[in-house]
A and B are shown apart, each in its own frame.
Chain A
């Protein structure tokens, strides 16, 4: 009897979660796939032919590929080098450096693009300085176009590489290097023969994450590319939807899926091969730290300079622009004004945007944390058959470019088989965020559950606790840090989301990310910057909470 009842309650939860995953993830995806192949109700390749029929479209595809590859190369070099220096040398102020170097994770890519326009654009701060220093009429660079996009993408996405490489370096068993040292190898030799080969999977893994994220990005190519007619797939999909040409957008979305799919497939290949690198175990023996000796202050200074350029400069530019009467105004104290802040914060659209984002982000985060915690429990602890598959499906949007999710939302929810149309309401954004960030919750909850050894729950059970008591007294308290981390991460991401929102927003249903983009796109750089500066503190505080949480968690 009890066995039957126990099974039933788990089955009910499983069915509910399966329905949630199917409706939120599978249904929109199937819509994109089917509609890309349907023309006037019959199967056809015509939508794809349309993509390749016009150079505009296939050039955008090609641009997406090579720009993302180039940006990934930049990100990989920066991420690997900084990770090595921070993790394996005695460079000063490590904690501050590490925090600064992962900060770009928290800064919306759109903000970085805006900041760099204001720094290195035609009337940017750096450009003006260069011109007054050299007397040249123009700067020898242009922030608009492929070069600028690659640069800004690269310095925005390198933390993916930094974090995976730093993690691998930290977990590496010091005795592996010590063995080489006792065999007579010097520091350089050890780095080349032992350390680098061992962290290579981490470098490649981080690079692939960065690549997928570059392909996904809309804000940077939109700000730096559209103006000079340099198109990538995401901006092209955005344009196709403003025409609107839904079938074309749908077919191009499938191409994005294909690109991301290839990257994920490559990643899977690595994971498969990673077995041979299991020697990077969980032991926390402190690896050998390279003493920089006389170079120590200089390496430190260089790293701070890099962090300054990547993190501080663009944010500083945003602040300056927000405080200037007009974009490109001479920089001095007399011209400082709060006019932009007043104008933007008094506009009802911006107010609505802030309010909408502050409503959507916590709701999405809360729903996802509850659902993914339950799903992770069914998968990892209860080992319910089928839960692993659901987990896999829920992870898919992680590699799914946001534009695809946006197109999927329009196709799936404009005219759903049951219920009212969500298009033109705020709720379509909520459904989109639920799809886009489900993987964040799943990853975090799964990881924290896997750290809870089965015996901790079994000990409660042998102490006399039933399943529910065990969950309440042992499992849930131990999972809590992971759940909070997931909540904050989803909140930050959804709060400034742009790629999907830009495709599905409607008048009166602005989000803060969308409104900043619209202002920037319409030439109100000052107001866009003011709004960006206004919402940045929340993002930074939330980010610091995640950092504090993860430090706290590793202490257990």
Chain B
């Protein structure tokens, strides 16, 4: 297995602001790799450094074994000489060229023969389901169709890697879902490695082979979607991927299998022992909404809360509970409905423990 993109110590500053702070990651061959994080986390800047649209301040970038940027060796291959295809957030489809000519442009630059161009563009159009639209101008296309043209243009030259910068964020929800599947299908078909930038954690989870979660210019964790969700490395990853409830408390007792906590308000909770238990007695308990159960017959818990709001989500039911001044967000199967205003006992199936001091520290370790 070769490496597609190798990034080492990449740093990019804008004035006094450090947008990307000495990050490292390596992308495998045929991999769908996502950079995910809130806006301003440095993910797009990283992508643009890989493309050569921004010049980094320090570090090294290699694409398929070729060094395209190295600050110490003073290597900086210009964008047009890097073997990449890129799709921009606003598509950047050229309005003065037809769909065909947009897609054929990279081939034209390589001086490919007319017949060769026609054959390859035809193939791409077929793959995108746009055979009939070659002669259209971009202004006659819907957003989703323009998106495909941009994708086709990035794919047609068979680059070493495809760079996608929030390509689905301008599409409406239904289309976005459709394009997610489409993109993943095309990636599996062509085997082309994809470096994907998004702020949408669901998108990243659904599409990626591996995800790098970024915040404030740093990578917090690189792992598979399942590991990112189930075993977040830092409080920031825990917060950003999915949602979570926090309850302060202290460890009452711990056995090999379980740990019993006394949470704020005096209730006790017994839950499976997580990977590690903080040394301090004061802890912060973090629980995902779907890891809680509601009912009168919950064992190991005497946490009594009141149902304030119930929202029916179709496949699930979501509750806002009030417990001792804390709001708890709980998701349950829809067939165990609890009416608003009723008192319930809340059970916790599993949770994460953090140091009590972690509340303000996004880098804090999560059990």
Interface residues of A (CB under 8 A from B): 2-3, 453, 455-456, 458-466, 469, 473-474, 477-478, 555-556
Q: Which of B79, B92, B106, B110 contacts A453 (CB 8 A)?
A: B92
Would you give the 0/1 interface string for B9-51, flagging 1 where the beta carbon is closer than 8 Å to chain A? 0000000000000000000000000000000000000000001
Q: Which of B81, B96, B139, B157 contacts A478 (CB 8 A)?
A: B96
The answer to whether B96 touches A462 (Cβ under 8 A) is no
Count class of interface residues, chain B? 20 to 34
B199 in contact (CB, < 8 A): no
B76 in contact (CB, < 8 A): yes
Q: Quote the shortest CB–CB distance from A423 to chain B (angstroms).
A: 45
Stretch with Cβ within 8 A of A (4 or more), from B83-91, B208-216, B256-264, B357-365: B83-91
With contacts A2-B78, A469-B109 taken as known, whether A462 is within 8 angstroms of B94 at the C-beta atoms is no
The answer to whether B79 touches A461 (Cβ under 8 A) is yes
Q: Quote the shortest CB–CB distance from B135 to chain A (angstroms).
A: 18
The answer to whether A463 touches B95 (Cβ under 8 A) is no
Q: Quote the shortest CB–CB distance from A474 to chain B (angstroms).
A: 6
Q: Quote the shortest CB–CB distance from B119 to chain A (angstroms).
A: 19
Query: Which of chain A's residues have a CB closer than 8 A to the CB of B86?
Result: 458-459, 462
In the complex, A30 Cα to B80 Cα: how many Å? 45
In the complex, A80 Cα to B364 Cα: how many Å? 62
The answer to whether A461 touches B94 (Cβ under 8 A) is no
Question: What 10 A-B pairs come out closest when comparing CB atoms?
Answer: A455-B92, A462-B86, A459-B92, A463-B106, A455-B88, A461-B79, A464-B109, A477-B96, A464-B80, A456-B92
The answer to whether B105 touches A556 (Cβ under 8 A) is no
The answer to whether A458 touches B94 (Cβ under 8 A) is no
Q: Quote the shortest CB–CB distance from A544 to chain B (angstroms).
A: 24
Q: Which of A2, A453, A463 has the most CB of B within 10 A?
A: A463
Q: Quote the shortest CB–CB distance from B331 to chain A (angstroms).
A: 35
Query: Which of chain A's residues have a CB closer than 8 A to the CB of B139?
Result: 555-556
Could you list 24 A-B pairs, sorted by A, with CB under 8 Å? A3-B76, A455-B88, A456-B92, A456-B94, A458-B86, A459-B150, A460-B105, A461-B80, A462-B51, A462-B79, A462-B82, A462-B85, A462-B154, A463-B105, A463-B153, A464-B81, A465-B80, A469-B109, A473-B105, A474-B94, A477-B96, A478-B96, A556-B95, A556-B139
In the complex, A455 Cα to B163 Cα: how many Å? 13
The answer to whether B80 touches A466 (Cβ under 8 A) is yes
B298 in contact (CB, < 8 A): no
B53 in contact (CB, < 8 A): yes
Q: Quote the shortest CB–CB distance from A494 to chain B (angstroms).
A: 29
* Nearest-neighbor residue (CB-CB) of A462 within chain B: B86
In the complex, A478 Cα to B97 Cα: how many Å? 10
Q: Which of B76, B88, B157 contacts A459 (CB 8 A)?
A: B88
In the complex, A325 Cα to B39 Cα: how many Å? 77
In the complex, A466 Cα to B110 Cα: how many Å? 12
In the complex, A15 Cα to B154 Cα: how many Å? 37
Q: Quote the shortest CB–CB distance from B297 to chain A (angstroms).
A: 51
In the complex, A474 Cα to B90 Cα: how many Å? 16
* Nearest-neighbor residue (CB-CB) of A480 within chain B: B96
Q: Which of B78, B79, B163 has the most CB of A within 10 A?
A: B79
Query: Which of chain A's residues have a CB closer than 8 A to the CB of B79?
Result: 458, 461-462
Query: Which of chain A's residues have a CB closer than 8 A to the CB of B157?
Result: 463-464
Q: Quote the shortest CB–CB distance from A260 to chain B (angstroms).
A: 37
Could you tell me which residues of chain B, from 156 to 183, have a CB within 8 Å of some CB in chain A?
157, 163
In the complex, A277 Cα to B216 Cα: how many Å? 33
* Nearest-neighbor residue (CB-CB) of B86 within chain A: A462
In the complex, A459 Cα to B163 Cα: how many Å? 11
In the complex, A244 Cα to B92 Cα: how many Å? 60
* Nearest-neighbor residue (CB-CB) of A457 within chain B: B92
Q: Which of B52, B89, B94, B139 has the most CB of A within 10 A?
A: B94
* Nearest-neighbor residue (CB-CB) of B106 within chain A: A463
In the complex, A466 Cα to B106 Cα: how many Å? 12
In the complex, A453 Cα to B76 Cα: how many Å? 24
The answer to whether B90 touches A453 (Cβ under 8 A) is yes
In the complex, A3 Cα to B81 Cα: how many Å? 13
In the complex, A543 Cα to B86 Cα: how many Å? 42
Q: Quote the shortest CB–CB distance from B48 to chain A (angstroms).
A: 8
In the complex, A456 Cα to B105 Cα: how many Å? 13
Would you give the 0/1 interface string for B349-361, flagging 1 where the beta carbon is closer than 8 Å to chain A? 0000000000000
Instruction: List 8 additional A-B contacts (Cβ < 8 Å) besides A458-B79, A460-B94, A556-B95.
Output: A2-B78, A3-B76, A458-B88, A459-B94, A463-B85, A465-B109, A466-B80, A469-B80
Q: Which of A459, A465, A469 has the most CB of B within 10 A?
A: A459
Query: Which of chain B's residues have a CB closer than 8 A to the CB of A478?
Result: 94-96
Q: Quote the shortest CB–CB distance from A350 to chain B (angstroms).
A: 43
In the complex, A406 Cα to B106 Cα: how many Å? 52
In the complex, A455 Cα to B87 Cα: how many Å? 10
Would you give the 0/1 interface string for B117-152, flagging 1 where the beta carbon is closer than 8 Å to chain A? 000000000000000000000010000000000100
The answer to whether B110 touches A464 (Cβ under 8 A) is yes
Q: Quote the shortest CB–CB distance from A334 to chain B (angstroms).
A: 58
In the complex, A2 Cα to B106 Cα: how many Å? 21
Query: Which of chain A's residues have a CB closer than 8 A to the CB of B92?
Result: 453, 455-456, 458-459
Q: Quote the shortest CB–CB distance from A551 to chain B (angstroms).
A: 15
* Nearest-neighbor residue (CB-CB) of A2 within chain B: B78
Query: Which of chain A's residues have a CB closer than 8 A to the CB of B80?
Result: 461-466, 469
In the complex, A473 Cα to B102 Cα: how many Å? 11
Q: Quote the shortest CB–CB distance from A167 to chain B (angstroms).
A: 22
In the complex, A193 Cα to B361 Cα: how many Å? 49
Query: Which of chain B's residues have a CB closer than 8 A to the CB of A555?
Result: 139
With contacts A478-B95, A478-B96, A556-B95 taken as known, whether A464 is within 8 angstroms of B106 at the C-beta atoms is yes
In the complex, A556 Cα to B95 Cα: how many Å? 8
Query: Which of chain A's residues have a CB closer than 8 A to the CB of B85?
Result: 462-463
* Nearest-neighbor residue (CB-CB) of B165 within chain A: A455
Query: Which of chain A's residues have a CB closer than 8 A to the CB of B81?
Result: 464
* Nearest-neighbor residue (CB-CB) of A469 within chain B: B109
In the complex, A320 Cα to B240 Cα: how many Å? 79
Q: Quote the shortest CB–CB distance from B36 to chain A (angstroms).
A: 21
Q: Quote the shortest CB–CB distance from A375 to chain B (angstroms).
A: 23
Query: Which of chain A's residues have a CB closer than 8 A to the CB of B76?
Result: 3
In the complex, A455 Cα to B52 Cα: how many Å? 13
Query: Which of chain A's residues have a CB closer than 8 A to the CB of B105?
Result: 460, 463, 465, 473
Q: Which of A465, A478, A555 has the most CB of B within 10 A?
A: A465
Q: Quote the shortest CB–CB distance from B203 to chain A (angstroms).
A: 20
Query: Which of chain B's residues have a CB closer than 8 A to the CB of A453?
Result: 90, 92
In the complex, A477 Cα to B95 Cα: how many Å? 10
In the complex, A96 Cα to B110 Cα: how many Å? 50
In the complex, A37 Cα to B1 Cα: how many Å? 79
With contacts A3-B76, A455-B88 taken as known, whether A462 is within 8 angstroms of B95 at the C-beta atoms is no
Q: Quote the shortest CB–CB distance from A449 to chain B (angstroms).
A: 15
Q: Quote the shortest CB–CB distance from A482 to chain B (angstroms).
A: 13
Q: Quote the shortest CB–CB distance from A64 to chain B (angstroms).
A: 46
The answer to whether A455 touches B109 (Cβ under 8 A) is no
Q: Which of A3, A456, A463, A477 contacts B109 (CB 8 A)?
A: A463
Q: Which of A460, A462, A556 contacts B163 (CB 8 A)?
A: A462
In the complex, A2 Cα to B81 Cα: how many Å? 12
Query: Which of chain B's residues have a CB closer than 8 A to the CB of A461?
Result: 52-53, 78-80
